[in-house]
Amino acid sequence: MENASKALIIAGAILLAILIISLGILIFSQAQDTINSVNMDEQEIMAFNNKFTPYQGTAKRGSEVNALAQAVLSNNQSAKDNGETATKGITVSGKIAIKNDGSTTTFTRLPSGTLYDVSFEYKDSLVNKITISDHK
């Protein structure tokens, strides 16, 4: 009888140890998933901003600014299609007039030989507004 009770106590202790180890592994794997998702968000932000940052600066040619406007239009269209206009839509102000009549969006192209300054504003680390002005 004495051996049976000791065997039950040992079995209970082993089950308790297995439960504690399993719980530790579960917590560790959830922490790893959280860490990986944070890095992925930063990578997504960098990938989003890298579509536009090459156009930022002073003395940009009109052809570069026109390419930037085209990139903004395609970005805004894909954001609209995905329902992300509040977070990933970009507004452009200054020398380029972008017109949206609800179904199509067009912009007035700038002369290629003229120089412009392009500056960005950020919201939640994403490019949110682009301002285009004559080069000084």
The whole-angstrom separation of Cα 98 and Cα 100 is 7
pLDDT bin (cut points 50, 70, 90) of residue 99 is low
Q: In this structure, what are the phi and psi dihedrals at residue 106, rounded to the nearest 5 degrees?
A: -130, 165
What is the value of pTM for the model shown?
0.61
Classify strands 126-134 and 91-94 as parallel, antiparallel or unpaired: parallel
* Contact present, 126 and 87 (Cβ < 8 Å): yes
* pLDDT above 70 for 5: yes
Distance CA 110, CA 54 (A): 18
In the structure, what pLDDT confidence band is assigned to residue 14 with cuts at 50, 70 and 90? very high
pLDDT, tens digit (0-9, with 9 covering 90-100), for 20-30: 999 999 998 88
122 Ramachandran zone, left/alpha/beta (phi>0; psi -120 to 50): beta
- Given a cut of 60, is residue 124 above it in pLDDT? yes
Distance of CA 2 to the CA centre of its chain: 65
Output 84 or 32, whichever has higher pLDDT.
32
What is the rounded average pLDDT of the residues 121-129? 83
**C-alpha pair distances (Å), 122 with each of 119, 128, 131, 136:** 10, 5, 12, 23
How many CA atoms, within 13 angstroms, populate the side-chain half-sphere of residue 6? 3
